[in-house]
Homo-oligomer: A and B are copies of this chain.
Amino acid sequence: MSGDEKIPDIVIGRLPIYLRELRRLQSEGGKPTTSSRELGELLGISSAQIRKDLSHFGEFGKQGTGYHINYLIDQLSHILHLDRIWPVALVGAGSLGTALAHYDGFAPRGFEIRWIFDNDPGKIGRQINGIAVQSLAEMAETVARHKIQVAVIATPARAAQEVTNRLVEAGVKAILSYAPVHLIAPPEVQVSYSDPLTELQRMTYYLGK
């Protein structure tokens, strides 16, 4: 990284997209290199934008030969702190939480759900994909003891802010929430949302009646 330059969030947000596409190219096993032009065509992003984004972090390619796919994957993984597995606490063991606990797409991309919390006595103690559901009352202590930094919220909307407060107080630094509500957290805590309905509603703006 060139000094203490503050890199725009929107640039950081594109790095996982580049990484995902590079891994796809790698898994196809066709060739060792790619170019900003090829990546740009695959991703619908201009090649100039890709070169500019990557230039924030160093020189990864050469005029003429392009980027070595394996090398760029290693570099992007390192920049995003994905050269390790992040253990994740999941809060909410309803149908969505259960589906997430069974989802096999986390581990290959650097995350592993290791703890599940719920406040429903009917769920506590049950195993989901090999993980025993713990009581919400145990959450703060478990998070602090294991220094858990990443959490996924799959609770109903009305519970999500209270859960966020308790996660933050216990030391969590990054929260992905599936609850359809805006969460308030201190600026040093990252919060992201997965709400497919806001995506669908954005798109219908562009559709006729």
Q: Which residues of A contact B (CB under 8 A)?
A: 12-13, 15-17, 19-21, 24, 42-44, 79-82, 84, 86, 88, 95-96, 99, 102-103, 105-106, 109-111, 149-150, 152, 157, 173-174, 176, 180-182, 184, 190, 192-209
Residues of B within 8 A of A80 (CB): 201-202, 204-205
Alpha-carbon distance A84/B208, docked complex (angstroms): 12
Residues of B within 8 A of A79 (CB): 205
Residues of B within 8 A of A81 (CB): 204-205, 207-209
Alpha-carbon distance A111/B42, docked complex (angstroms): 30
Q: At the interface, is chain A mostly helix, strand, loop or mixed?
A: mixed
Assess the B180–A196 pair: CB atoms within 8 A.
no
- Ordered by A's residue number, 24 sampled pairs between the chains whose C-beta atoms are within 8 Å are A13-B198, A13-B202, A16-B198, A17-B198, A24-B181, A44-B182, A44-B184, A80-B202, A80-B205, A82-B201, A86-B200, A88-B200, A95-B102, A106-B197, A110-B197, A150-B207, A173-B207, A174-B206, A174-B207, A176-B200, A190-B203, A192-B200, A193-B199, A194-B194
A196: shortest Cβ distance to chain B, in Å? 5
Alpha-carbon distance A105/B43, docked complex (angstroms): 30
Residues of B within 8 A of A192 (CB): 199-200, 202-203
Determine the residue in chain B with the shortest Cβ distance to A108: B197
Assess the B206–A20 pair: CB atoms within 8 A.
no
Alpha-carbon distance A95/B103, docked complex (angstroms): 9
In this complex, which of A12, A44, A197 has the most chain B Cβ atoms within 10 angstroms of its Cβ?
Answer: A197
Determine the residue in chain B with the shortest Cβ distance to A175: B203
Alpha-carbon distance A152/B197, docked complex (angstroms): 11
Residues of B within 8 A of A102 (CB): 95
